[in-house]
């Protein structure tokens, strides 16, 4: 198995180079010659109208689908030279409808999707990605260095990062509490999914932000988690919230499968009409949900 090349700081951890993609042999291109680089540190937000290709970018990065032309790279190495495991072991993915796995809090935080099983299930396209039934346990398979924190310590740390530790302590059994229909709200389930991603300490965190209205604590917790992960690695969000867009170090505006514009919020406000319209719509959404 090829191991990813190590590259100098500042080089992109992931890159799409002139990538074209379509689904099921369709002539309609989901991506049409897209080139973009994900820096190894910081927060990149993907924005653009419905159908612009944002989800397709994540599907390609996770190798749920393969490009029809062009190439993807991890640390400068073409995906074609890497195994699916090489790529996915570096990435954690939080999908939009945060799934929970039947079982305990501990299982939900420490278990992760088996990469091969997820690929076989078809990934994002059929909703089987991070919530798929085939799970493996870091706690069962991992080897710990002497003196390293225990798996439970890591679970508590990740729960604290998403402001769920007090909630879990309040449940009978704590980490051993079974998740039921009634003891976790939608926002708490979303935070649990983020905790599951954080506990892996991924080099790259991909997060498809929920479009549904989130409670204030959940929004703040996810914002904090993104900032924390972006300070030690790469974070790529499909941003649906103004706060997420404003926090991004770099924003890529996609339109019809192409890169329309990129830059910081201020730069794009100054030079891209579609971006201005997008931000205006988010502001209206934020104002109406606050009122
Ligand atoms: N599973 C699929 N089968 C067929 N076509 C698809 C599939 N998924 C996406 N597409 C098409 O690919 C193009 C890009 O879709 P994609 O989901 O990447 O856009 P998006 O920017 O994420 O949109 P949204 O904001 O609505 O999620 C669209 O034309 C879409 O119809």
Q: Where are the domains of the chain?
A: 12-290
In this structure, the dihedral spanned by the alpha carbons of residues 36, 75, 151 and 193, taken in order and rounded to 10 degrees, is: 10
φ, ψ of residue 214 in degrees (nearest 5): -105, 150
User: 3 C-alpha to center of ligand 1: Å?
Assistant: 32
User: 130 C-alpha to center of ligand 1: Å?
Assistant: 18
Residue 55, ligand 1, Cβ within 6 A:
yes
What are 116-146's pLDDT values in tens digits? 333 333 334 333 333 333 334 444 444 555 5
What are 194-221's pLDDT values in tens digits? 999 999 899 999 999 887 778 889 889 9
Pair 5, 19: CB distance under 8 Å? no
pLDDT-above-70 percentage for the chain: 82
Pair 187, 142: CB distance under 8 Å? no
3-state helix/strand/coil string of 167-218: HHHHCCCHHHCECCCCCCCHHHHHHHHHHHHHCCCCCEEEEECCCCCCCHHH
Residue 127, ligand 1, Cβ within 6 A:
no
Q: Which residue has the tokens 């499909």?
A: 238
pLDDT of residue 212: 76
pLDDT of residue 9: 58
Which residue has a Cα nearest atom 25 of ligand 1? Answer: 50
> Span 104-122, mean pLDDT?
61
In DSSP terms, 93 is beta-bridged to 206
Choose the residue to mutate in 30, 31, 57, 237 for probing ligand 1, maximizing ligand atoms within 8 Å of C-beta: 30
In this structure, the dihedral spanned by the alpha carbons of residues 22, 23, 28 and 29, taken in order and rounded to 10 degrees, is: -20
Which residue has a Cα nearest atom 6 of ligand 1? Answer: 23
Residue 48, ligand 1, Cβ within 6 A:
yes
Mean of the per-residue pLDDT values for the chain?
A: 84
Is this complex scored with an ipTM above 0.90?
Answer: yes
DSSP 233-276: SEEEEE--SHHHHHH-SEEEEEETTEEEEEE-HHHHHHH-HHHH
| Structural tokens at position 254 | 């996609």
CA distance to 15, 91, 262, 289, per residue, from 35 (Å): 7, 20, 11, 35
Ligand 1, atom nearest to 125 Cα: 1
CATH number of 12-290: 3.40.50.300
Measured CA to CA, the distance from residue 23 to residue 30 in angstroms comes to: 7
pLDDT of residue 118: 39
Residue 256, ligand 1, Cβ within 6 A:
no
Which residue has a Cα nearest atom 28 of ligand 1? Answer: 51
Residue 41, ligand 1, Cβ within 6 A:
no
pLDDT of residue 1: 42
> Span 16-31, mean pLDDT?
94
User: 49 C-alpha to center of ligand 1: Å?
Assistant: 11
Residue 240, ligand 1, Cβ within 6 A:
no
């Amino acid at each position: 198995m090829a191991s990813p090349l190590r590259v100098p700081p500042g080089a992109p951890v992931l890159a799409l180079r002139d990538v074209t993609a379509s689904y099921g042999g369709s002539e309609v291109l989901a991506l049409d010659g897209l080139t973009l680089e994900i820096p190894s540190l910081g927060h990149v937000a993907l924005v653009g109208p419905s159908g612009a290709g944002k989800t397709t970018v994540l599907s390609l990065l996770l190798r749920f689908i393969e490009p029809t032309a062009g190439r993807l790279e991890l640390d400068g190495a073409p995906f074609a030279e890497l195994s699916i495991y090489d790529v996915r072991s570096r990435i954690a993915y939080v999908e939009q409808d945060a799934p929970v796995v039947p079982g305990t809090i501990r299982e939900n935080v420490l278990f992760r999707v088996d990469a091969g099983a997820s690929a076989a299930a078809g990934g994002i396209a059929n909703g089987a990605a991070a919530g798929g039934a085939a799970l493996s346990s870091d706690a069962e398979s991992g080897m710990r260095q002497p003196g390293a924190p225990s798996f439970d310590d890591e679970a508590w740390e990740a729960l604290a990062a998403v402001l769920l530790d007090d909630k879990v302590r309040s449940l009978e059994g704590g980490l051993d509490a079974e998740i039921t229909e009634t003891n976790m709200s939608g926002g708490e389930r979303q935070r649990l999914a983020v905790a599951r991603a954080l506990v892996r300490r991924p080099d790259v965190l991909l997060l498809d932000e929920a479009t549904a209205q989130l409670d204030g604590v959940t929004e703040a917790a996810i914002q904090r988690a993104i900032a924390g992960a972006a300070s030690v690695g790469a974070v790529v969000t499909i941003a649906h919230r103004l706060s997420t867009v404003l926090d991004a170090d770099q924003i890529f505006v996609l339109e019809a499968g192409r890169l329309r514009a990129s830059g910081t919020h201020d730069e794009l406000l100054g030079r891209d009409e579609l971006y201005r319209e997008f931000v205006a719509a988010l502001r209206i959404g934020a104002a109406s949900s606050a009122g």
